[in-house]
A = this chain, B = another copy of it.
Amino acid sequence: MEKLKDVLLKVQRGELSVDEALHFLKDLPYEDLGFAKVDHHRALRRGVPEVIFCQGKTPEQVVKIAERMNARGTNIMGTRAGREVFEEVKKAIPDAVYYPDARIFAVIREPVPKNKGLIAVASAGTSDLPVAEEAAVTAELLGNRVERLYDVGVAGIHRLFMNLEVLERAQVIVVVAGMEGALASVVGGIVDKPVIAVPTSVGYGANFNGLSALLTMLNSCASGITVVNIDNGFGAGFAAHLINRLGGTENEAALP
């Protein structure tokens, strides 16, 4: 809005003709006219990492993007990054760190505002771990405390019931499950909080690459469950962060 005000002021002061003003406004980036990104929480955005989705990019492409971001001094996170991608990034940015289970690398440059609430990440089986870690590490890098509750799937449902107090303490719960994906319904049935369900492509036979778990979660009869795409741990972690932020942030920002 400020550039627009500038232009108006110059027209008022006769420093700019109307035609010059029109021409200038026409070339003004859309964003600067105030119609773009509704971002009144800019303060909160400090430290929010810029994200590179590495899948389908060559290591060289990832490095090039990472270096450009690094030059801006912001935090960076790269998702779906294999170790060979990270090795290349590390050559260019030596203090990059790697979370192998989550397949995420990160470059930390500035502190992140910490959200007060807790995010719980529950997963059904060991094979769901990479997706669960993608969600958990994403949430952590965005400034959230995360507690993990793994291997609490329906086949070992007593482990879930033994750890109910983690669910009790959380503000938001991410549930990661493949095969039949029933865990989301069970959790949604016993808590009264936002639950984000992530179907995974883990399974075989008529699992259809996660379709089975996706449909289960969409059709859950427990209220308050919303769903992200199959294997989309990043999306779940990000949405959980946006929700958790509503509960307020600490006074001090900190390194993730």
Contacts and interface: CB of A to CB of B under 8 A. Distances in A.
Nearest to A18: B8
A213 B181 CA distance: 11
Contacts of A181: 180, 182, 216, 219
A59 to B, nearest CB: 15
A223 to B, nearest CB: 5
Contacts of A230: 204-206, 218
A100 interface: no
A231 to B, nearest CB: 5
Contacts of A30: 35, 158-159, 161-162
Nearest to A177: B221
Interface stretch (A81-89, A90-98, A102-110, A120-128): A120-128
A125 B14 contact: no
A199 B206 CA distance: 10
A34 B238 CA distance: 32
A35 B4 contact: no
A235 B153 CA distance: 18
Contacts of A124: 221
A182 B186 contact: yes
Given A33-B33, A38-B167, 8 more contacts: A12-B14, A31-B162, A125-B221, A192-B242, A199-B205, A201-B205, A206-B219, A214-B218
